[in-house]
Chain A
Amino acid sequence: MEKALREYEEKRQEGARLAGKLLLASAVTAPRVGGIDEISVQYIEEQDTIEEMAIVIDKMASDNPAWGFFRSDAIQVRDSDVVLVMADRRSGHDPMDSNCNLCGYSLCDQWRQVPKLSNEASVAFRGPFCLLRSMNVAYALGGAVTLARQLGIDYTVKMSVGAAAVRMGLTPYKSDVALGFLASVTEKSPFKDLPKNYEQYNSASLENRLIGRLFPTFRSIYS
């Protein structure tokens, strides 16, 4: 690759990673119910881990009839420079004890008696989770969104990323509900103007077809 272009690509990635760390900071300082520290934010920049996550999400698309959109999500993960995963550390086992009824149980002690959903592939999050706690994930995401807008980088939020992160064991111990934030620094947002059947026609798959598949054929013919 031409030196100038290589340097441009390196600086682009560096910018995305720097932004990703600032997004993490904004997610951490976003409001919390009761000001409690119970959210963790995992920062993922390694392309291998991002690719592994995209594959897990793609596979999960077959686990539940409602998850067809995971295929498109997988591509968007693959096209991301940085992935943030916001997880709640307490909502699965330690309710807020506010008896808020968001979960549908008038008392938190009733919630404690409810068995968790079984460990099946079709279940993303083995609920019920305490909503008064897990809503902090939304504030963390909102904090990242706020700064991403100011920085002018492309972003989106994904339930599938959180589900895959839990399945991959990327979240802390007992953090069984999580949501994902994708960030990208490119000329065209990979999260907007999604074609139908995006998984077949995105830039990565086209690149694979044209260069990865066709170019060796040309070489073998013409060289």
Chain B
Amino acid sequence: MAIINQEELLKGGLDRAVELMAVAANTAMMFGKQKLKIVSMGPEEFEDLSGFCEGIAGLSPLADRDGRSFADLAKEDARALLIGANRKSVYNFDCGACGYATCAELNRTPLVEGIVANGPCCHFAVYDMHMAAMAAAAAAWRMGLHCRVFQTVGTAATACEFITDIDFSVGVGVSYQQIDPFFDRHKYWTDEEWKEKFAQDFPSFARRFIGAVE
């Protein structure tokens, strides 16, 4: 049997793992026959995401922080599974959660383009996509990978056109490094910068967004 070195083993394992995550996402429990779009991306794309996030850093401190970490993820050979879907209802639940009394009304409403998503979206379309993301994340966790679900990866990847023909998306980042790169990312904020960001007018921060105390 041929000897396979550690680097090849880890890279190959990660590639297979991402494929299996896609399978898990595709077979995830869902509310209906929602069509998901699933693609994967690697280190080069993380580099591009980092650049995009840097570009919108003034708008979003979250993108600012995540963007800095994406530059490191690119160096650490990380991958992400991107899952996207379309905004219209295919369910005919007429549930009202979107603010329209019927699915037909929602589907007739003109599309409003946005950076994060094109709206208005059917709640169950969004739920199904995130249940697929959860299934992918659970598969990654079972395989022993470091993993985090990123809204910012979905947003930036859509803007960079790594995933197309969808109205919203989410990214599930995975890594085989010894240290989990997705959490405890204190090195991307100095104390001074943290205070400065909080002093700005980002109302979400006052509502416990990314860990702030209510």
Contact = CB atoms under 8 A, between A and B. Distances in A.
Interface in B110-166: 112-121, 123-124, 126-131, 133-135, 137-138, 148-149, 151
Contacts of B118: 101
A30 B128 CA distance: 15
Nearest to A147: B138
Contacts of B93: 66-67, 124, 159
B117 A102 contact: yes
Nearest to A111: B99
Contacts of B29: 141-142, 145, 155-157
A105 B204 CA distance: 17
Interface string A85-116: 00000000010111111111110000000101
B203 interface: yes
B140 to A, nearest CB: 11
Nearest to A94: B207
B91 to A, nearest CB: 8
Contact of B121 (A64, A104, A139): A104
A31 B96 contact: no
A179 interface: yes
Contacts of A20: none
Please indicate which of the listed interface residues B123, B133, B148 has the most CB atoms of chain A within 10 Å of its own CB: B123
The size bracket of the interface on B is: 35 or more
Interface size class of A (residues with CB under 8 A): 35 or more
B108 interface: no
A134 interface: yes
A96 B208 CA distance: 10
Interface stretch (A74-82, A125-133, A203-211, A215-223): A125-133
A135 interface: yes
A106 B95 contact: no
B46 to A, nearest CB: 20
A135 B134 contact: no
Q: What are the 6 closest A-B residue pairs judged by CB atoms, nearest first?
A: A104-B120, A142-B134, A128-B99, A101-B114, A104-B119, A138-B127
Given A97-B204, A129-B123, 9 more contacts: A31-B148, A66-B94, A96-B209, A102-B117, A117-B96, A127-B95, A129-B99, A138-B126, A177-B97
